[in-house]
Structure 1
Amino acid sequence: MQMLINGEFIDSKEKIDVINPFNNEIIDHVPAGTPEDAKTAIDSAYYAKNEFQDFSARKVSESLARCAEDLFDYLEEFATLIAMETGKPINAALDEVKRSIDTIKLSSEESKRIYGETVPLDAGIGGKGFMAFTLKIPLGVVGAITPFNYPLNLAVHKIAPALAAKNTVVLKPSVLAPLTALKMAEIINSHFPDGVLNVVTGRGSIIGNELVNSEKIDKISFTGSVETGRMISQKAIMKKITLELGGNDPLIVLGDADLKKAVEGTIRGSYLYTGQVCIAVKRLIVDEEVAEDFVQMLIKETKKLRIGDPLSTKTDVGPLINENAAIVVERIVSNALDEGAELLQGGKRNGNFFEPTVLDQVKSGMKVVQDETFGPISPIIRVKGVEEAIKVANDTRYGLQASIFTENIHHALKAVGEIEAGSVMVNKQSTFRTDNMPFGGFKMSGMGKEGVKYAVDDMTRTKLAILNTR
């Protein structure tokens, strides 16, 4: 596949292989974009913004709606491509495409709801006799940088709200899984003027730096690692930024919890896309009152998971994105065992695959639960009561999402009030997300919110108009 710059598909001499994590075969090649490619794309977006901002809200809405219709027509093709380039099981890939369609539809609707407001100037000294109102206007050009794990939905979460607010976009997808974003760009480009959406493939140190440093970019929306997010926040001078970074999401199980629901939530939360999800359950904080029963139920359900070909509808757990990622998980598990954790299930690596793994007797200070582990690991920390559970949940530099299983409303509300996270789920695992909800974390998990309405608002700026009526 080729890059999209100013409505044209552009190739380059240097190529980057896109590898299928299941069999390590080359699926396709994409261009290794240069700084000049990135600058050309930025210029294209910069000069396209004036024409695009002349679009009516109705025209923007209709164009986005047609994009959603086209994506629906190719739903299975997109899902297959996601499964092939990421190793995501096909059922989860289908869900990702469906969510992406929904995100575009929500953006289509939101493009007609960008409101200003009247301002009562006579409430201030000297304001009598004046009328004022605000306008929400586009920022200009949005630079979007996305990771491999949700190559379509995370790209759409940046592109569609940006277009809804009449911004132009330059997207840099992950080189590990760029094909789905490029294919999506073909659809969007067919419904919007040339230059409104540009997609440049290449290494982050090259393309990403150009986006962050360019004075023609008005906002950076980034999803990825904490380290890269910190670098962006330091370099993106005078730009608006949204950073969706790592997570170390806890799932608390109290003594009064419905254990069946808690185990179901753990299975869905820990092993979704092999744990390679920022909102995956990374820590199980279990009241010792029910720990033994919970552990036995969890092991039983974990053993039922089927590892295999992502294109099979029977597969629950596919490969990690590459062998290096699997080796990292293997090393983290080994270190946890050296530190005193107990292996109850799994723990073995086979190439890019790593077995769903249950660890018990984990302590809060261990690396396996202090850092974000991008793998199918369920580390269990045993605690006494809700107070200790919340204390352990907050013992992390991250604060993306969290969950608690309890039948006690007072414990639930205490957790909602005291856990330091952008979202707290009660009797639902942390991987729960709808595409219209405000999504974003505290502490080192980032800044700003995604979710269509909130992203659209953050991709506009406020202008004030004042009329002298005297």
Structure 2
Amino acid sequence: MRAPRDAEDALRALGIPGGGYAEGAWIRQPLTLEVADPEDDTVVAAVHEADEATMLRAIAAVDRSVRDDAWPLWQRRETLERAAHLVREEASRIAGIVSRESSKTIREATREVARAAETLRLSAAASHLLEGETLAFEDTARGAGRVGWNRRVPLGVVAAITPFNDPLNLVAHKVGPALIAGDGVVLKPARVTPLSALALLDVLLRAGMPPQRMAVLVADRAASTVLVADRRVAAVSFTGGPATGDAIARAAGARPMLMELGGNNAVIVAADGDAAAAAAGIVDGAFGVAGQNCLSVQRVFVHASHHERLVADVVARTRALVVGSKRDAATDVGPMISRREAERVERWIDEAVDAGAHVAVGGERDGAFLSPTVLLDVPRDARVQREEVFGPVVTITPFEDVEDALAQVDDTEYGLQAGIFTASMSLAMRAVERLQVGSVLVNETSDFRIDSMPFGGSKRSGVGREGVADAVLALSEPRNVILTLVDPVAGSSTQGDVGGADA
């Protein structure tokens, strides 16, 4: 454990004022939770770990801010616009933080910073969604003598819980829509990657966010349960695994929730598909961020006529990937988030091999580094086929009948995204109609999204949709205003005796 002064100095060197933030103030002591670089286990910095009492005070302060602090829509929009500008302006520093605490290479971290700025810009631009609409009283006899409209109002305090794999942009996706909607946020970032969230909070404060509108606290399970169960929390926005999602739902009870719970994404390469383009996309989509990506390509189903050629192309491209230090701009694949996670994925590979699978390339581990792995002849009941691997592993399976391939894509409890390579519009639309997923990508792998589109999945992949516009609507609600017109002479309602006050 670092000495207190050393811990503060390490944060300051990163441009982060403290190791937590609550009640409108940075928390500078105690800083007891060390954040390590997964590449070599060196300590990057230390942060504050909140207890239950600290969490309760943080919720109370954000709740007061939502109720008492005037922060009109135009100011919220300008704050987010300034924040987007600051993120772009400070991209190099912020990308360094993202890369040091996470699995991302410096190139991947730089791309994430650009996306986070875009997410904040889109959040600011979504202000028009809060304008509401007029109510159609003239379209019913029961509406005589009345006019009205609705406007969207904030829900209140949003509990936001984010994962390690996109430690900046996924925070922006929780925070940006909530703030433009007028909500307050208590953010619990992943324990292993809290620094990116703290850096973004600092940007938002400098951009003009009211000081008590948001809290950022790393917390253990007990304090996290306090967060999602507190009656002052109006909504929960969570990205992570389904088991944790279930636990949150049990603790939170009936209240609005947004949950993105992962995927076991597949790609189909049809007989008329471009196998070369598919191979390039598969390698890029399977091994980026060492496979720790909810949209990662995990399963490939290829028509038998392309199988041999596609496997050879994917294997050759995989061998060409540079696995190494995140700091090197030439590196394609860095470490997994921890040695423990790398060992878990290695066990899953070994299980598949024991069941009859063949390693075409990869499968070697060195600490937290796991070489990109292509598996063939994998049984359908192997964990690497049925569960989310969240590591640098892809399976390739041949098929003769495309209907069988479509059925195999759906043969999982997940349904986030899927891709199909085909020249046939009818087959593409068959996949769109058949597959139980949130997005079907034609002549593209599963590993693509833009930050403005509705984002989420079917089945166990989540609840609701994120993407900026959809999140703004989910984190606000319509409030109707109904005016009964009064005759200024008679002093009575002009509504007549039509209708009544019944529901």
Q: Contact 2:416–2:456 (CA<8 Å) still a contact in 1?
A: yes
Q: CA deviation at 1:186?
A: 1.0
Residues 167-186 of structure 1: pairs in structure 2 closer than 5 A: 167-186=183-202
Deviations 1:81-139 (A, max 9, x none): 11110121111110100000000011111124312112223444522232231121110
Partner AA of 1:117 in structure 2? E
Q: CA deviation at 1:309?
A: 0.6
Q: Contact 1:364–1:395 (CA<8 Å) still a contact in 2?
A: no
Task: Name which of 244, 260, 265 aligns with 1:249.
Answer: 265
Task: Name which of 454, 467, 472 aligns with 1:451.
Answer: 467
1:339 aligns with 2:355: yes
Q: State the match for 2:293 in structure 1.
A: 277
Q: State the match for 2:310 in structure 1.
A: 294
Task: Name which of 380, 384, 388 aligns with 1:372.
Answer: 388
Q: State the match for 1:121 in structure 2.
A: 137
Deviations 1:228-287 (A, max 9, x none): 101112222232100011210111111111011101110111001000011101111111
Residues 1-400 of structure 1: pairs in structure 2 closer than 5 A: 1-13=18-30, 15-52=32-69, 54-124=70-140, 126-190=142-206, 191-203=208-220, 205-400=221-416
C-alpha separation in 2, matches of 1:109 and 1:13: 39
C-alpha separation in 2, matches of 1:121 and 1:364: 57
Q: Contact 2:358–2:376 (CA<8 Å) still a contact in 1?
A: yes
Q: Contact 1:146–1:172 (CA<8 Å) still a contact in 2?
A: yes
- State, as a whole percentage, how many aligned pairs show the same letter: 35
Partner AA of 1:67 in structure 2? A
SS at match of 1:147: coil
1:462 aligns with 2:472: no
Q: Contact 2:103–2:165 (CA<8 Å) still a contact in 1?
A: no
C-alpha separation in 2, matches of 1:457 and 1:87: 32
C-alpha separation in 1, matches of 2:380 and 2:427: 21
SS at match of 1:290: helix
Q: TM-score, normalization: structure 1?
A: 0.97
Deviations 1:49-106 (A, max 9, x none): 1344x32221111111111111112101111111110121111110100000000011
SS at match of 1:150: coil
C-alpha separation in 2, matches of 1:370 and 1:318: 25
Q: Contact 2:164–2:193 (CA<8 Å) still a contact in 1?
A: yes
SS at match of 2:170: helix
1:403 aligns with 2:419: yes
Q: Contact 1:438–1:454 (CA<8 Å) still a contact in 2?
A: yes
Query: Rg: which structure is higher?
Result: 2
Q: Contact 2:415–2:458 (CA<8 Å) still a contact in 1?
A: yes
Q: Contact 2:238–2:259 (CA<8 Å) still a contact in 1?
A: yes
C-alpha separation in 1, matches of 2:102 and 2:87: 19
Q: Contact 1:201–1:207 (CA<8 Å) still a contact in 2?
A: no
Q: State the match for 2:446 in structure 1.
A: 430
Q: CA deviation at 1:364?
A: 2.3
Q: Contact 1:173–1:200 (CA<8 Å) still a contact in 2?
A: yes
Q: CA deviation at 1:12?
A: 4.4
SS at match of 2:218: coil
Q: Which runs of 5+ in 1 are unaligned?
A: none
Q: State the match for 2:500 in structure 1.
A: none
C-alpha separation in 1, matches of 2:251 and 2:305: 49
SS at match of 1:218: strand
Partner AA of 1:116 in structure 2? G
Q: Contact 1:254–1:385 (CA<8 Å) still a contact in 2?
A: no
C-alpha separation in 2, matches of 1:337 and 1:113: 52
Partner AA of 2:96 in structure 1? T
C-alpha separation in 2, matches of 1:332 and 1:350: 16
RMSD across aligned positions (CA): 1.2
Q: CA deviation at 1:6?
A: 2.2
Q: CA deviation at 1:189?
A: 1.8
Q: Which runs of 5+ in 2 are unaligned?
A: 1-17, 486-493, 495-503
C-alpha separation in 2, matches of 1:272 and 1:106: 25
Q: CA deviation at 1:154?
A: 0.4
Moved over 4 A (4+): none
Q: How many residues align?
A: 468
Partner AA of 1:334 in structure 2? D
Q: TM-score, normalization: structure 2?
A: 0.91
Q: CA deviation at 1:333?
A: 0.3
Q: CA deviation at 1:462?
A: 1.3
SS at match of 2:473: helix
